[in-house]
Structure formats: structure tokens, C-alpha cells
Amino acid sequence: MRRVVVFALAVVVVYALPASAAPRSDWWFKTPGGAAYCGSEVGRFLCVRPADGFWFRFTNVFGTHADVRKGRSNDFRGLREPAPRLLGIGEVFYSSDAAVITCRSRRTGLTCKHFEGLSFSIGRARGHRIFYEASGFPPNVQPLFKTSIGIHCGIDADNLEPSQPFLTCWRSTDGVVLGILHGGGSRRGTHSRIEKAIDFRPRGFRLLGQDRTFEWRCRNVTALRAERCSMREGTAVFTCTNTHARLTCSNRRGHGFWASARSFYTF
């Protein structure tokens, strides 16, 4: 799949645009029928919908806390300008080899994602959504167990440091995702919300009964590393206890989370 390197060029062009922005002619691409146009600003990424002048903008693109803003401007209404690329249905645009921004064109509209996971979707004629986690990617774990209230738990399969296992649990009713890292020092449990975790109930998770405890054990354990892990032998690095009210999980340092049918807390 072809990747287009464009962010490296963006830094030499300076724009001083107000929040509403103004017409421009340096778009990176447009979607079929001119339904959407996308281009760059210094440290920012802009997409507009000419049908009604609606716009999305990623800010602080190269920072540690990217943000997304939206609005509507008559300047963009009815926009028809040339663009170097037509992003056809099913095609993907990469802002660079590092894929800082990734956009996918669909029949229903356009979805663009920042590498941190923040993303937005803009319909061809109307409608829009903002996702604060990567859309389209449900949790990917080695299955461990599930509870009767729809909480599934497993070991993160996308972890780039498998010697530091990460326990991930999600509540399928609303997409709340909770986690604990082994070797995280004083860091408490994590929490987020992923839309694709809603109603995600894959097979392979055994039921953890009421008043039962689960332990993930590893044979080679230090303060930072835990290797040769299973449900049978070694030192318990993650412990989860299921009661009638909630599931509570913690690591060896006592950090973790609890989750009930409607609430959760990290510690």
C-alpha cells in the first residue's frame, strides 16, 4: 500500500488561519465527488466537507497531547478546488512513513486517525463522530476469563514488551477498558473507553464464578520483568477476585482496579 510522505514538506509552509479558516489550494487529497478535502497546516491537519462547510482539525499533531476541533464555515461551503490525489473508496492515505495521520475513504465518508488513537469520522453529506481511542480495533488479548456481568479479561497480545505483561479487562456493556502493568512501579491501573469494545464478547474465555479468585503466575519474576507465565505455576503477578458486587484485579505492588456492572475505580 502506497504511503505518501508529506509532513516533512509541511514545515516549510506557514499558515496563519483563524479558527474558521479560509479557502486554500494546497490540499493533500479529496474524496470521490469532492465530498471531503484534507490538507496540512503547521502542526495541524484539516479536513472539510463542502456540502455544508463543516470542518475538523487535528491540533498539536507532533505533540504528546493531540486534540481535535470542529466547526462550520461558509468559506468552505461549495468548495471545488484541485487536489493532487483522489482518495478512492477503500483507499488509505498515510501522512508519512511514520503514519502520524492515517485516513481511510469509505462509501459512507472519511475516517482519519492520529497515531495516538484520537480519530474522527465525517459523513459524505452530513454527520460526524469523534473517537478518543482508535476506532475499529477491539481489545486483542490472550483470553483468561469472563464474569457474569460481561467483563472479559486477558493478557494484552499487542504488548511490545512481553516481559512486562499487561492485564486488560473490558466491560462489554459500555466499552470501559481497564488495565494493569507488571513492573509499572507506582503507576495505578489505567482506564479508557473504546467503542469497539461495546458488545465485544469473543469466545475462549472461561467463566470466573462468584467468590472465585484467578491468578496469572510467572516463573521468572523480578520488580520489572515477569516471564514464563501461565495459570498454573510460579509467582502470582496479577490477582483477580470476583464477588457478587464487582471484579477486583491488582498486581504485586497493590495497584489495579475494580469494576461493577455500572462503576469502576483505579488505584
* Domain containing residue 215: 141-266
Q: Do residues 121 and 151 share a domain?
A: no
Cβ–Cβ under 8 Å, residues 95 and 6: yes
Mark whether 193 and 113 lie in a shared domain: no
Statement: residue 200 has pLDDT above 70: yes
> Residues 145, 262: one domain?
yes
Residues 257 and 198 in one domain: yes
Look at the chain and report how many structural domains it folds into.
2
* Domain co-membership, 116 together with 195: no
Residue 2 in domain: no
pTM, 2 dp? 0.54
Closest by CA position to 227, among listed 235, 218, 236: 218
Give the tens place of pLDDT for each residue, 47-101: 999 999 999 988 877 765 678 889 999 999 999 999 999 999 999 998 876 678 8
- One DSSP character per residue, 103-140 reads EEEETTEEEEEETTS-EEEEESSS-EEEESS-TT----
CB 260 within 8 A of CB 243: no
pLDDT at 133 (0 to 100): 57
Higher pLDDT, 117 or 251: 251
CB 170 within 8 A of CB 199: no
